[in-house]
Amino acid sequence: MIKAAIAGGTGYTAGELLRILVNHPEVEICSVMSTTSAGRPVTDSHRDLLGETTLEFSDSLGEPDVIFLCLGHGLSKEFIDSHDIPAGCKIIDLGQDFRNEPDYKGRHFVYGLTDVFLPQIEGCDYLANPGCFATCIQLGLAPAAALKLTGSEIHVTAITGATGAGRKLSETSHFPYRNDNISVYKPFTHQHLTEICNTLEKLGGSRPTVNFVPMRGDFTRGIFASIYFRCDMPAEEANAIYKEYYKESPFVFVSDAPISLKEVVNTNKCLLHIESHNGRLHITAIIDNLLKGASGQAVENMNLMFGLERTTALKLKANAF
């Protein structure tokens, strides 16, 4: 059994990790760390796990084989520096500390976009899990970028659920603000842009301009991205390219029919739909921001790092209505 520890155990991504790992046939959770909740039952924070686990939050790491860092941005380096991590312990960081700066004190963090960089992920020791918006947008663009179809400028508008803002309450995540409301935030400056452009440059050889406008939605979870760029390729041809690119993926699928967000909520899937309009390719991409966009992909990466079947514990039920 793989012994797994979770640091930052009270947040949304940690909760999703727990829901997956308590049912993972090859994993034993040895520690769920929280400096503010040590000694309390995990179910105090994650009420839906009542009856699923008797774990308590801890302030000690234990002797894990892998640790998931579910910490605020900038805190993963601090955690590594302040804790005696056992030799041979693998690290999966769900923050953004190592996505764009992968080398840190003798450790090299592989960028964990599973459907694009699988060979590098298999068997690695340190991994930077991609951001949620970044995962959705990159999966929508990777096949086109690899064939240099995207040109120099890409346009993206994407909307995310309230859980994308994290568990800590803020003015714009407060119910009176979110309910029956949509708003733009961080237009053209979102922190995921750098990792998106890094991947596109690796795949296509040049660094495009990505005009990304993120939006807050009045729903709980999920990301819906609308992506387009100039390209004269017919949709039928692009569909064939995308299906070939993702033919080995157990989680990314190209839909011939238009897609809607509920089709991926509570799953580790990404669905794509492609159309052509007046010399432009338009791609819609959807994921669950907490699963394929965070904890689900983290477990997918863990499976690959330990040589397990990639889909282990990730065959989850969708919410169609």
Q: Which residues are identified as catalytic?
A: 132
Task: Report the 3 state secondary structure along 47-76.
Answer: HHHCCCCCCEEECCCCCCCEEEECCCCCHH
Q: Which of 160, 89, 139, 133 is nearest to 302 (CA)?
A: 89
Q: Is 133 left (phi over 0), alpha (psi -120 to 50) or beta?
A: alpha
Sign of CA dihedral 82, 84, 87, 92: negative
Q: How far is CA 23 from CA 9, 29, 57, 154, 314, in A?
A: 17, 10, 18, 40, 10
- d(CA 210, CA 32) in angstroms, rounded, equals 38
> In the chain, which ranges are continuous DSSP H helix?
12-21, 75-82, 118-121, 132-146, 175-178, 193-204, 235-245, 296-305
Residue listed under structure tokens 């004190």? 105
Beta bridge partners of 110: 127
Task: Estimate to the nearest angstrom the gap between the alpha carbon of 59 and the chain centroid.
Answer: 26
Q: Helix (H, G, I), strand (E, B), or coil: what is residue 260?
A: coil
Q: Are 246 and 235 in contact (CB under 8 A)?
A: no
Which tokens go with 1? 């059994």
- d(CA 189, CA 50) in angstroms, rounded, equals 40
